[in-house]
């Protein structure tokens, strides 16, 4: 257990902050002031879109007072920031798009409200790919986010602002969303820990929709322990979300610490079967990524786990399936942004149809337009059965493949992405290359399964490599337990960019 009094404030994770506040080593107000200064000095990263300095200081003082009075919430005084896909009352909520520039929500998203109720202190809103569409965080209308490990490289997307802010020590944790890998991939690219829970565990109410059957909120932080603490606060049934799972509140931190039957201090993963799909280790996988992932799996073996060869035969089909279903849902969801009630409206236009056309042309960026057009095409008469319906059938088969694997293993492991983070602009002319980078994260998203990225070392040019762990439905506790055991035996999650 780290001593929070012996480390710089910006180097502390959520659990460290809570221990430090409990020990009165520092106050939340002192921590918030320290982090706000770092945010101001790190504008070149492009991580923050909006900083609420006054609101953060006020919330920090309130958290300190609550702690002194003995009525502190589970996350009282812990600073964080929210991906700008979550609406926040009275503050800008743009989804990284000009379409929503200047929009301020009249209410908080459920995830935002629950973290605030637990006492967390929000520093502001974080940059993201426009409407969460992207794998690099280069699609934001307000500029790209840069990777703190190498500012010439992407941080991954669409939760790149969240990943960069945590990796750079601007906040100990942040919220993210994962539609096809947008928590796991940026976490892997920036050397932090992130978990996408089972679809329905976290409410989507107040989360600006991209693909409703895929979007899921989750925490991004320094460690599995930090993610467990955040997920306990932000998850739970919400009657305002029709897709919310009706389950009692979960204590993921307790589940993470629950020892396995037969486990020992030296082998905390004894009896755990980890499946290795052969499709997750293709010839095209970068050697540096495969090397670090294999070494991490060797470490898990040393901790008592057993590695089992399995197969997910439809892995390659997950890319065309996802890029039919997700754009189709985006086409439907984004039809509401027409310049009438809210959002960007063209200054000059003719009739109503011309106003729609000009407002949407000006408000949406190239990637969003591309996906709307694809989605509208596959839903159109004559193509629905050939594309969308077939994609949904394959989606069911992909989910069945996972269930067949879970007959042989408890968790599934592999790389997060085929390579380390690439250079900014490197894939700008070929969006298909960026789509292919999601090959290992898409299957779990299509199946609605929980998955996480755990720092597993460093590859080419010293860039982070992530180990992906995938569990069965509602197996977040098992995922977090395995990740925590790995992190207790390694220090990759403690390393920071200069």
Q: What is the pLDDT along the chain (498 residues), one digit of tens a residue?
A: 557 667 899 999 999 999 999 999 999 999 999 999 999 999 999 999 999 999 999 999 999 999 999 999 999 999 999 999 999 999 999 999 999 998 999 999 999 999 999 999 999 999 999 999 999 999 999 999 999 999 999 999 999 999 999 999 999 999 999 999 999 999 999 999 999 999 999 999 999 999 999 999 999 999 999 999 999 999 999 999 999 999 999 999 999 999 999 999 999 999 999 999 999 999 999 999 999 999 999 999 999 999 999 999 999 999 999 999 999 999 999 999 998 988 899 999 999 999 999 999 999 999 999 999 999 999 998 899 999 999 999 999 999 999 999 999 999 999 999 999 999 998 777 778 888 889 999 999 999 999 999 999 999 999 999 999 999 999 999 999 999 999 999 999 999 998
Residues 431 and 325: their CA atoms lie apart, in Å, by 17
Residue 179: which residues within 8 A CB-CB, separation 6 or more?
Answer: 132, 158, 210, 211, 214, 215, 216, 326, 445
Contacting residues for 427 by C-beta, under 8 A, at least 6 apart:
136, 433, 434
Enclosing H/E stretch for 465: strand 464-471
CA distance 293 to 237: 35
What is the DSSP pairing of strand 273-277 with strand 306-310?
Answer: parallel
All structural domains of the chain: 10-259 (3.90.1300.10)
Residues with a catalytic annotation lie at 83, 158, 182
Whole-number Å distance between alpha carbons of 459 and 396 = 35
User: 88, 83, 86, 77: which is closest to 14 by C-alpha?
Assistant: 77
Cis before 251 (ω within 30): no
Q: Which of 114, 121, 19 is nearest to 62 (CA)?
A: 121
**Residue at token pair 């009165």:** 24
Q: How far apart are CA 162 and CA 125, in angstroms?
A: 9
Strands of the sheet containing 306-310, edge to edge, are: 48-51, 121-126, 79-83, 173-178, 216-221, 193-196, 451-458, 464-471, 411-415, 273-277, 306-310
């Amino acid at each position: 257990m780290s001593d929070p009094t012996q480390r710089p404030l910006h180097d502390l994770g959520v659990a460290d902050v809570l221990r430090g506040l409990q020990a009165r080593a520092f106050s939340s107000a002192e921590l918030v002031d320290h982090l706000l200064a770092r945010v101001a000095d790190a504008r070149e990263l492009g991580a923050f879109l909006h900083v609420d300095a006054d609101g953060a200081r006020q919330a920090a003082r309130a958290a300190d007072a609550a702690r002194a009075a003995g009525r502190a919430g589970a996350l009282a005084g812990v600073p964080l920031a929210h991906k700008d896909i979550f609406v926040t009352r009275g503050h800008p909520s743009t989804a990284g798009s000009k379409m929503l520039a200047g929009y301020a929500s009249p209410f908080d998203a459920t995830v935002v409200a629950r973290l605030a109720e637990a006492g967390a202190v929000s520093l502001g809103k974080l940059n993201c790919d426009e409407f969460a569409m992207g794998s690099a965080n280069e699609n934001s209308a307000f500029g790209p986010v840069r990777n703190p490990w190498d500012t010439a490289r992407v941080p991954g997307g669409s939760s790149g602002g969240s990943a960069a802010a945590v990796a750079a020590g601007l906040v100990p944790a942040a919220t993210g969303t994962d539609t096809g890998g947008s928590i796991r991939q940026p976490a892997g690219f920036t050397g932090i820990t992130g978990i996408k829970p089972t679809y329905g565990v976290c409410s989507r109410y107040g989360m600006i929709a991209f693909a409703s059957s895929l979007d899921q909120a989750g925490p991004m932080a320094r460690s599995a322990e930090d993610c467990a603490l955040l997920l306990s606060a932000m998850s739970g049934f919400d009657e305002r979300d029709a897709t919310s799972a009706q389950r009692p509140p979960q204590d993921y931190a307790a589940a993470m610490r629950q020892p396995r039957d037969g486990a020992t201090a030296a082998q905390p993963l004894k009896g755990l079967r980890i499946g290795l799909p052969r499709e997750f280790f293709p010839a095209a996988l970068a050697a540096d990524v495969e090397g670090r992932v294999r070494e991490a799996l060797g470490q898990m073996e040393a901790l008592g786990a057993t590695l089992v060869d399995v197969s997910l035969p439809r892995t390659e089909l997950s890319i065309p399936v996802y890029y039919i279903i997700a754009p189709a849902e985006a086409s439907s969801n984004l039809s509401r942004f027409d310049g009438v009630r809210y959002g960007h409206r063209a200054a000059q236009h003719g009739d109503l149809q011309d106003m729609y056309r000009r407002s949407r042309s000006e408000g949406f960026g190239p990637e969003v337009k591309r996906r709307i057009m694809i989605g509208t095409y596959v839903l159109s008469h004559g193509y629905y059965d050939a594309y969308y319906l077939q994609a949904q059938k394959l989606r069911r088969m992909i989910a069945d493949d996972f269930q067949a694997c879970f007959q042989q293993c408890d968790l599934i492991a592999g790389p997060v992405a085929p390579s380390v983070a690439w250079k900014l602009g490197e894939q700008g002319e070929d969006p298909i290359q960026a789509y292919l980078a999601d090959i290992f994260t898409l299957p779990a998203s299509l199946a609605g399964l929980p998955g996480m990225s755990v720092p597993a070392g460093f590859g080419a040019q010293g860039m982070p490599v992530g180990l992906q762990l995938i569990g069965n439905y509602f197996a977040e506790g098992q995922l977090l337990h395995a990740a925590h055991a790995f992190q207790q035996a390694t220090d990759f999650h403690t390393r920071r960019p200069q």
